[in-house]
Every structure is written in structure tokens, then in C-alpha cells.
Amino acid sequence: MIVAIVALVMATGGTGYAALSLPKNSVGSKQIKKNAVTGSKVKKGSLSATDFKTGQLPAGPAGPAGPAGARGPAGADGTQGTAGTARAYARVSHGTLDAARSRHVVSVTHTPSSGDYCVELDPGVTSSSTGAAVTPYWASDQTYSGSPGSFVHAEFDGTCGTNGIHVLTFVIVPGNADTDGRVTLSDAGFFIVVP
């Protein structure tokens, strides 16, 4: 019995001695059992993002927007280019606004066969601060044998309100062999741009 007690004291005392007498930095990853180190045993703030696998850390808030990219190339078919710097533009075909090829134009109104149009601009575009460039839309013009078949005129004369452009379209009606042709107001397609 005495021998057993002495052996027990030596065994427990030896373990305590070994734990107390380990040299500094002598325990490494080989001596630590798998899953032995838990979050509660890790010093707060001692780990960095590189210590974690992809997807283990939650994403932070989105950063500020970056600068705008370079302007892309023009389309191959030329049917619809970029907005550019024009404040407003539109294509009008037989009195109908082509919304897909228009920008900052609210509406187009006119009396059929009058050649007299009102192009209403978006309220954000001040019509009185600049003029407008207008040109015939040849593919939409009525068919006349004269050349050119039509011409257009645009102005801010107050006829179409404070934010409207007054557009008049004229066509050349050819005469016969003995008379000259004549110019008359009539519907024709046109492009309009407010720079």
C-alpha cells in the first residue's frame, strides 16, 4: 500500500513538474492536437484576413463609385449613336416622334398636311438659351420629283409656348416644262437638335 501511494505521488508530481518546466517556445503545431485551439483561446485582434479561407469573413460595405469609363466605339450600323453633348434631339417622321431616336423631347404636335409643328422640350432644357438645328429626314419625305424635295425652318418664336420649338416644313412642287416649281407648306420628316 505504501509503495502504491509513493508511485501515485511520483506520477502526479512528475506531470506537474513537466508542465512547469517546459522551455519557452518549445510547443509547436506538432504538439497541439487538432481542434484544440478555439476562438476563446485566441487573442482578440491577433488574426488578419489572410488567416481565413475565402468566404469565411463577411463582406464589408460597398466602397464609393469609381470614375466613369472611356466612351465606347460607335455602332457598326449607325442606326443609333450615343447621346453626345446635345441637350435635346429628335427624329420626326410624318408628324410622329420617333422615341427611340429622341432625347429630352416630350412631344410633337401638328395639324396634318399643314407643315406646321410644335416640338415640346423636356422642362430641364431651356429653349430660349440657344437656337436649334433642323434638317429634312429624306427617307420620310413625301415623294416629289423636285430636288431637294423639302426643306425645314425652326425658331423659338413663342408660337409653341415657353419651351417649344416652332418648326415649318416646306416642299418643292415641281412645275411643268413651261412654269417654275413652287414652294409650299406641307408635311415632311425632319431631324432637330438643340445643342
Q: DSSP secondary-structure letter at 122?
A: P
What is d(CA 80, CA 85) in angstroms, rounded to the nearest whole number? 15
Q: DSSP secondary-structure letter at 180?
A: -
More confident residue, 187 or 176: 187
Q: Burial letters for 116-155: b for 16+ Cβ neighbours within 10 Å, e otherwise?
A: bbebbbeeebebeeeebebebbeebbeebeeeebbbbebe
Q: Which of 168, 195, 194 is nearest to 106 (CA)?
A: 194
Q: Which of 117, 118, 132, 119 is nearest to 169 (CA)?
A: 117
Residues in a beta bridge with 154: 167
Query: In this predicted model, what pLDDT tens digit does every residue of 91-142 receive, in sequence order?
Result: 998 788 988 889 899 999 988 888 899 999 988 887 666 678 888 886 654 4
| pTM for this model (two decimals) | 0.50
Query: Average pLDDT, whole number, for the chain?
Result: 75
Would you place residue 19 in the very low, low, confident or very high pLDDT band (cuts 50, 70, 90)?
Answer: low
Cα separations in angstroms, 29 against 33, 34, 43, 50: 8, 9, 17, 18
pLDDT over 80 (residue 160): yes
Per-residue model confidence (pLDDT) at position 133: 87
Query: In this predicted model, what pLDDT tens digit does every residue of 171-184 receive, in sequence order?
Result: 776 665 555 556 77
Average pLDDT (159-165) is 85
pLDDT over 70 (residue 143): no
Average pLDDT (53-63) is 83
